[in-house]
Every structure is written in structure tokens, then in C-alpha cells.
Amino acid sequence: MKDKIQEKFQTLFGEGGEVFASAGRINLIGEHTDYNGGYVFPGAIDKGIMAKIKLNGEKKVRAFSLDYDEYCEFGLNEEDKPEQAWARYIFGVCRETIKRGGKVEGFDTVFAGDVPLGAGLSSSAALESTFAYALNSLFNNNIDKFELARIGQSTEHNYCGVMCGIMDQFASIFGKAGSLIRLNCKTMEYKYFPFDPKGYKLVLIDSCVKHELASSAYNKRRASCENAAAAIRKNHPDVEFLSDAKRLWLEEVRDEIPEEDFLRAEYVIGEVQRVLDVCDALERGDYETVGEMMYQTHFGMSRLYEVSCEELDFLNKLARRCDVTGSRVMGGGFGGCTINLVKEELYDAFIKTAVEEFTAKFGHAPKVYDVVISDGARKVE
């Protein structure tokens, strides 16, 4: 990828320039907890976005996407927003940096990525983080890393129409090889935990399906959680988010809220605790407990939060049958991937069985992505 970027850059813009990169992410556990003020547990992965950038002394950006084989030119004022969706991410990062008092002037860039699109690995956050980090470095803006993550999040909100949480950009900026990051989405406190599962592999099985009800269902579940938190707050005023609540407090309001809201809240409260249990298990090197927590999360997402689907439930049950240590749906649900923690000696048989049986049942093969926990945003050379 780097060689292709260098070659295209030289053709378009000549010599010079610096190379920056950032990563996609996985989330080992802690799903649908971010907007409930709970913990998430992501890590950057060895797939991401890479860009070569050179200042051009003008007031415009000249950008080429290798993946889309498209060129785009735009200015740095609000009215200069480009038409191409991919270019808006770069434009948004420029604008959000400027809004924070950072210096941004014209530059030339060629970029490409190897994050599988549509697999829930946050290619957009990787793109935003690459350019946020690069502009901060090139213009010596001294913007701190938290704010670089927020620049990416604000780009999604203000220029791409996605009201996302902070987890994806946080993981892309703060990612560290061999470590996962426990982030408290209420306080933004974080801690690195070593993740070096010797004798195990981490692999994603991509169902290659995305069911349409994802966005409306997401909003509905968020409303259920807020309704349950409001009911609990009447008895326990300190409960700001559902993550602040105890399971017993939810039981107190069972008759006051719809059964659906109760189930959603039951999942979230359990999931917040599972993140903490997984962190404790990792510190002991206990990957069997980590795996069991992953299965519990899948059960909760399927039966209580109801964001799984037939394809993902099939992959999860198959993983259990193949003695996979841990497996669950990763991301918002209704399609996408399962994330699986597999003993190395079982890996080949599991992948073979999963591909064969999934293809036979659903008429198309799933995709398989091995992942390694890697560094986040950085200068490559």
C-alpha cells in the first residue's frame, strides 16, 4: 500500500512529503454501553489508513483517493465543502482543526486504506485520525490527543451526518500495540490493559450482511435505556446514566416501565460489569473467562437487546460447537461481524467449518479477517 501511495504521489505532486497512518479498531467487549455512560474496551488493529502529505503553499487541498481512484480539490472555508463523501472527512478535519485555533494551510495528499469496508472496523475514524494527527504534526498545533479524537468525532457530526460516540476515534488515536484500552465514556478516564493472548488468535468472521432496520432500531434502543434510567433516577437521584444503576435498582422499577425497556436496561447493566470482569481476567491471564464473558455478551445482545440476526446467531452457535473460547457479535448489530477468540490448534478447523456451513446455509461465503492489536495514529516516515 505504501509503495502505491508513493508512486501515485510522485506522479501527481512530485517529490517530498511525509507519511502518516492510523488504524481501524475492534471492541473486545462493551457494546451499546458508550451512550449509556459505561465502559468500552477497544484496541487499534493492524489495518487502517495511510496518507502521504506535502504542504503546497496555497489555500487549497488537492487530494487523491487510491481506493476510489478519484481526485478532489477544495478550499479551507466553510463554503468550500466538497461533493465527494470521502473528501468531506478530510475537509471536516481541516475545518474542525481551524475551529479549535489550529493552523491549517493548503496541502497535497494521496491516501489509501486496507480496513475492510462495511465490516464495522471504523475505516472513517481511521481516515479522520490520520489527517487530524498529520495536520497537528505538520503545523505544530500542539492540540492534545483527546482533542484530536474529538476533531474526528465532530467531523462525523458536522460534515458527514453521523452522530457517533467517541470510541472509534479514541481507539484510532490512542491505540497501542499489544494493549486494549478501557475507556469510561462518562468521565473519559482510560487505562491500558496488556492483550497478548499467547496460544490464541483473534479473528473476525464477516457475515457480509447488513439489515436495514439498524439505524431506527438503534434510536429506539437508546430511548429505552434513557426511559429506564429516568425511572431509576426517581428513587436514586445520582443516576445520571444507566451505567450508574445497580441491577437491584432496575428491579425496583420493573412494573413502572415497559418489558422491552426493562430487557434493554438489564443487558446494559450486565454489560458494564462484564467489561470490568474481562479487565480483571486479562490481568490474571485468564482468557477462558474473557471468552465466557464474550458468549454472555452475545446472548444479551441477541435475547435482551435484540440486535443480533440469524446469520450472527448461527456463527455464534457454530463457534461454541467448535470449542472456540469466545465469540460474540461486534458493533451495533443486525449484521456485520462476530469477533472470536480461538485457540491456535483449533483455528484451521473452525475457519473451514464456519466458511463451509455458513455458505451452505446462506448462499454466500463469509469473509475472514485475522486481527492483531497495533499502534494508532503515528508518523510513518
Q: Say whether pLDDT at 214 is over 80.
A: no
Q: Say whether pLDDT at 118 is over 80.
A: no
If you average pLDDT over residues 201-212, what whole number do you get? Answer: 89
Cell readout for 341 is: 477468540
Distance, in Å, from the CA atom of 88 to the CA atom of 84, rounded to the nearest integer, reads 7
Topology of domain 200-371 in CATH is: Alpha-Beta Plaits (3.30.70)
Q: State percent of the chain over pLDDT 70.
A: 99
Q: Say whether pLDDT at 221 is over 70.
A: yes
Distance, in Å, from the CA atom of 183 to the CA atom of 23, rounded to the nearest integer, reads 17
Distance, in Å, from the CA atom of 81 to the CA atom of 141, rounded to the nearest integer, reads 23
Helices 123-138 and 145-155: crossing angle in degrees, nearest 10, is 130
pLDDT band at 163 (very low <50, low <70, confident <90, very high): confident
pLDDT band at 116 (very low <50, low <70, confident <90, very high): confident
If you average pLDDT over residues 125-139, what whole number do you get? Answer: 97
What mean pLDDT is reported for the chain?
Answer: 94
pLDDT at 217: 82
If you average pLDDT over residues 220-234, what whole number do you get? Answer: 95
Q: Say whether pLDDT at 120 is over 80.
A: no
Domain boundaries defined on the chain: 2-195+375-379, 200-371
Residues labelled catalytic: 168
pLDDT band at 211 (very low <50, low <70, confident <90, very high): confident
Q: Say whether pLDDT at 312 is over 70.
A: yes
Residue 145 CB-half CA count within 13 A = 11
Q: Cell 497478548 belongs to which residue?
A: 196
pTM exceeds cut of 0.85: yes
Contact 63, 90 (CB under 8 A): yes
Topology of domain 2-195+375-379 in CATH is: Ribosomal Protein S5; domain 2 (3.30.230)
Model pLDDT for residues 269-302, shown as the tens digit of each residue: 999 999 999 999 999 999 999 999 999 999 999 9
16 CB-near residues (< 8 Å, 6+ apart): 54
pLDDT band at 206 (very low <50, low <70, confident <90, very high): very high
